[in-house]
Structure 1
């Protein structure tokens, strides 16, 4: 891993097919790419609100899907 390219998200050795819209969880707030349900890293509830972080395969970063 090169200095400056660190990420807290695990890298994916394969690309997931996103042709089925039913498998989409949301979109990346930064690049607009579809986030599949299989990309969810963590889901938790705080103060009665569910929060989710997923990996954007295009950005390579953990995001809160929209």
Structure 2
């Protein structure tokens, strides 16, 4: 298993119980984990940016 696989298997602070990353703050669409573009560490743990399938913006799901 490479480092990318290990990072994407960990939940982020935006992960929902249903496997989504959360909702788009711009349009409210649920953002699936497979839309994740980057995951990083911040003061609150892991966070992610993703491409919203609804409005096609790059967002930090909430």
Question: For the aligned residues, what is the CA RMSD?
Answer: 1.8
Q: Which structure 2 residue ranges, 5 or more long, are not aligned? A: 1-16
The structure with the larger Rg is 1
TM-score normalised to the size of structure 2? 0.62
Q: Pick the aligned partner of 1:30 from 26, 30, 33.
A: 26
Query: Distance between the aligned counterparts of 2:19 and 2:38, measured in 1?
Result: 17
Q: Would you tell me which structure has more helix in proportion to its own residues?
A: 2
TM-score normalised to the size of structure 1? 0.59
- Provide runs of 4+ in structure 1 moved above 6 Å: none
Q: Which structure 1 residue ranges, 5 or more long, are not aligned? A: 1-20
